[in-house]
Amino acid sequence: MKDVAVIGVGMTKFGELWTKSIKDIFVEAALKAIEDARVDHIDSMYVGCMSSGLFVGQEHLGAVMADYLGVSPIPSTRVESACASGGMAFRQAYFEVASGNSEIVLAGGVEKMTDGADVTEALATAADQDYEVYQGVTFPGLYAMIANAHMYQYKTTRKQLAAVPVKNHKNGFNNPNAQFRSEISIDKVLSSTLVADPIRLLDCSPVSDGGAAVILCSLDIAKKFTKHPIIIKASTQASDTIALHSRKSLTTLNSVSKAAEKAYKIAGITPKQIDFAEVHDCFSIAEIVVSEDLGFFEKGGGGPAAEQGLTALEGGQIPINTSGGLKSKGHPVGATGIAQVIECYEQLTGQAGKRQVKNAKIGMTQNMGGSGASCVINILEAL
């Protein structure tokens, strides 16, 4: 496989973008990425999107976006894996460049969630329709089961869960593209509306519109475009059962641990060598479980680690979600996996401003779909 690099990134602000269509949003992000990478063309593109059919009545999104971006007749492919759609689009772009078929490929992600569709119902299509959704459970309920099991098994406390969104809002305060740039307190999380016990409103990532895009190319030609290409050391993916009830354990996300294991092996590193990570904090408990399954902390150690500031930007052992994460930055589901790569890129190229992790050399992204039935992990490194 050829070595592949990221050479430019672009994203919209995440939030309620009522004056912009899904096309506007994707095109804005893609143009920014193309401009940032200073490429004069792209050979091919990928669009990660979960459910434009249900959200805005538009499928065939690869062709739609190539057309509105003005790059037809290049190949353009839409990839879907619920909230991991962006990460998976990135990985497909990676394969296309690694295979030698194309030199410069755009990987983007987009979601337009605030146009009036029933968001809870649309998101629930990421769970098992027959055995979960039809029985009445939606995502806050599924993650509540994971949280309850984790609290029972590892004595994780409600306050430890709250430490996650408090940290992520603190980080997001310094991200100009974040949806919620406001700090919150533990007390505010604990007194927010109960959604699905023990999950409260401020444990939940929001409903968002947004787009994100990055440009990949073979490492051979990357130096033509930038002094600071970021190498993709590993891009891995794994799956798990779609329904929670089929799993041996509720407190381990098998797709995360499997994809991580493979990623560390391919990159030839251990979790300790990761300087920072963007992980999929769709709910507070998700970040805690994922921080364990990525090997940053032992099982049961995720809650105490969050509470003790081990994942904080300042003085943390492994800063997690310096971008603000899904919670503060926003979670336009198809764009999230790409936005994670963008934060990684900005950190590794020293462009993260007040969010900058000192001496950041190796970063990780972890993006997952549903209650972890799919997961994509990337390890990126500064040259």
Which residues bind to its own copies, rule: CB under 8 A?
A: 1, 21, 23, 44, 50-51, 53-54, 56-64, 66-68, 71-82, 88, 91-92, 95-96, 98-101, 122, 125-130, 133, 236-243, 246, 254-255, 258, 369-370, 373-374
DSSP secondary-structure letter at 193? P
Dihedral (CA of 197, 123, 169, 7) sign: positive
82 and 333 in contact (C-beta within 8 Å)?
A: yes
Q: Is 25 helix (H, G, I), strand (E, B) or coil?
A: helix
User: Is 331 considered catalytic here?
Assistant: yes
Q: Report strand pairing: 194-196 vs 362-369.
A: unpaired
Residue 346 phi/psi, 5-degree rounding, is -65, -40
72 versus 351: smaller Cβ distance to its own copies: 72
State the amino acid at position 229 in one-letter form.
Answer: P
Please work out, in degrees rounded to the nearest 5, the angle formed at the alpha carbon of residue 100 by the alpha carbons of 99 and 106. Answer: 90
- CB neighbourhood size of 336 (10 A): 33
CB of 359 to its own copies, least distance (A): 31
The length of the chain is 383
Residue 129 Cβ, how far from its own copies at the closest point, in Å? 5
Instruction: Provide, rounded to whole angstroms, the least separation between the CB of residue 369 and its own copies.
Output: 5
Residues sharing a CB contact under 8 Å with residue 325, sequence separation 6 or more, in sequence order: 168, 171, 172, 205, 278, 279, 281, 287
Report how far residue 300's alpha carbon sits from residue 150's, in angstroms, rounded to the nearest whole number.
Answer: 8
Encoding tokens for residue 314? 């300042």
Catalytic residue among 150, 169, 280, 331: 331
Measured from the CB atom, the residue of 73 and 176 that comes closer to its own copies is 73
Q: Nearest Cα to 282, choosing from 155, 109, 138, 151?
A: 138
Between 209 and 240, whose beta carbon lies closer to its own copies? 240
* Catalytic, out of 49, 83, 204, 217: 83
Is there a contact between 351 and 364 (Cβ–Cβ < 8 Å)?
no
**Residue with Cβ nearer its own copies (127 or 342):** 127
What is the crossing angle of helices 254-267 and 284-293, to 10°?
Answer: 40
Query: Looking at beta carbons only, is 139 or 180 nearer to its own copies?
Result: 139
Taking the C-alpha atoms of residue 231 and residue 97, their distance in angstroms, rounded to an integer, is 13
Specify the residue, 74 or 119, whose C-beta has the smaller distance to its own copies.
74
The Cβ-side half-sphere exposure at 173, using a 13 Å CA radius, reads 12
179 or 237: CB nearest its own copies: 237
CA distance 166 to 169: 5
Provide the annotated active-site residues. Answer: 83, 331
